[in-house]
Structure 1
Amino acid sequence: MKLAQRLILAPMEGVVDGLMRDFITRLNPYDLCVTEFVRVVDLLLPERVYYRLAPELLQGGKTTAGTPVRVQLLGQDPNWLAENANRAAALGSPGVDLNFGCPAKNVNRSQGGASLLKNPQQIYQIIHQVRQALPADVTLSAKIRLGWDSIESAQEIFDAVISAGANELTVHGRTKEDGYHAPANWPAIGKLVAQCPIPLIANGDIVDATTAKQCMEQTGTPLLMVGRGAIEKPNLGAMIQSQASLLPWFDFVHAMVSFHDEDPAARAELFHPSRVKQWLRYLKVSYPQAQQLFVEFRSLRTIEEMHAGFRAHYEQLLRTHSQIGEI
Structure 2
Amino acid sequence: MRIILAPMEGLVDAPIRETLTKVGGIDRCVTEFIRVTHGMLPPRIFYKYAPELYSQSLTQVGTPVAVQLLGSDPEMMGRHGLRAVELGAAQVDINFGCPAKTVNKHKGGCVLMREPELMYEIASAVRKAVPAEVPVTAKMRLGYDDRSMGVACGQALEAAGASEIVIHARSKVDGYKPPAYWEEVARVREAVSAHVIANGEIWTVADYWRCREVSGCADVMIGRGLIARPDLARKIKASQQGDEVADMTWPEAVLLVREYAEVLQGWLEDRYVTGRIKQWMNFLRQGFPEAEAIWQDARKIREVAPMLACLEQKMPLSRSAVRAA
The question of a shared fold, defined as TM-score above 0.5 by the shorter chain, is answered with yes
Q: Once the 2 structures are TM-superposed, how far is the Cα of residue 299 of structure 1 from its aligned partner? A: 2.9
CA 1:262 to 1:116, structure 2 compared with 1: closer, same or farther past 3 Å? closer
Contact 1:271 1:303 (C-alpha < 8 Å) held by counterparts: no
Q: Is contact 2:203–2:225 with CA below 8 Å preserved after alignment?
A: yes
In structure 2, relative to structure 1, the CA distance for the partners of 1:258 and 1:14 (3 Å cut) is closer
Deviations 1:19-45 (A, max 9, x none): 110100000221100010000001111
Specify every segment of 5 or more residues in structure 2 that has no aligned partner in the other structure, as ranges: 240-244
Query: Equivalent residue for 1:325?
Result: none
- Equivalent residue for 1:61? 57
Question: 1:11 maps to what in 2?
Answer: 7
Cα separation, partners in 2 of 1:148 and 1:121, compared to 1, 3 Å? same
CA distance in 2, matches of 1:134, 1:170: 20
With over 3 angstroms needed to count, the CA separation of the structure-2 counterparts of 1:298 and 1:153, relative to structure 1, is closer
- Count the aligned residue pairs: 318
Post-superposition offset of 1:303: 3.2
Distance 1:308 1:59 in 2: 34
1:161 is displaced (CA, Å) by 0.8
Q: Which residue of 2 aligns with 1:175?
A: 171
Distance 1:58 1:113, change over 3 A: same
Partners of 1:59 and 1:137 lie apart in 2 by 19
**What is the letter of the counterpart of residue 250 of structure 1?**
P
Cα deviation, residue 278, structure 1: 1.6
Shift, 1:196, TM fit? 2.3
| Shift in CA distance, 65/41, structure 1 to aligned 2, threshold 3 Å | same
Aligned pairs for 1:100-249 (under 5 A) are 100-243=96-239, 244-249=245-250
Q: Are 2:268 and 1:272 equivalent residues in the alignment?
A: no
The structure-2 alpha-carbon separation of the partners of 1:297 and 1:316, relative to structure 1 and needing over 3 Å to count, comes to farther
- Looking at structure 1, the residues matched to 268 and 312 of structure 2 have their Cα atoms a distance apart, in angstroms, of 14
Does residue 295 of structure 2 align to residue 294 of structure 1?
Answer: yes
Do the aligned residues in 1 keep the contact of 2:96 with 2:113 (CA within 8 Å)? yes
Q: Which moved more, 1:226-235 or 1:262-271?
A: 262-271
Q: Taking structure 1 as reference, are residues 22 and 176 closer, same or farther at Cα in structure 2, changes over 3 Å only?
A: same
Alpha-carbon offset, residue 257 of structure 1: 3.0
- Superposition deviation, residue 236 in structure 1: 1.1
Q: CA deviation at 1:150?
A: 1.8
Instruction: Give the stretch that moved more between structures: 188-197 or 138-147.
Output: 188-197
Summarize the alignment of residues 68-107 of structure 1 with structure 2, pairs less than 5 Å apart. Answer: 68-107=64-103
Q: Against the structure 1 CA distance between its residues 283 and 299, is the aligned structure 2 distance closer, same or farther, given a 3 Å change threshold?
A: same
Alignment gaps of 5+ in structure 1 = 323-327
Cα distance in 2, alignment partners of residues 35 and 259 from structure 1: 17
Relative to structure 1, the CA distance from residue 164 to residue 229 in structure 2 (aligned partners, 3 Å threshold; closer, same or farther) is same
Equivalent position SS for 1:151: coil
Please state how far the C-alpha of 1:189 moved relative to its aligned partner. 0.7
Deviations 1:129-173 (A, max 9, x none): 110000000000011111112222222111211111111111111
Alignment of 1:41 onto 2:42: no
Corresponding residue number in structure 2 for 1:20? 16
Q: What is the root-mean-square deviation in Å for CA atoms of aligned residues? A: 2.3
Alpha-carbon distance between aligned partners in 2 of 1:263 and 1:181, rounded to the nearest angstrom:
31
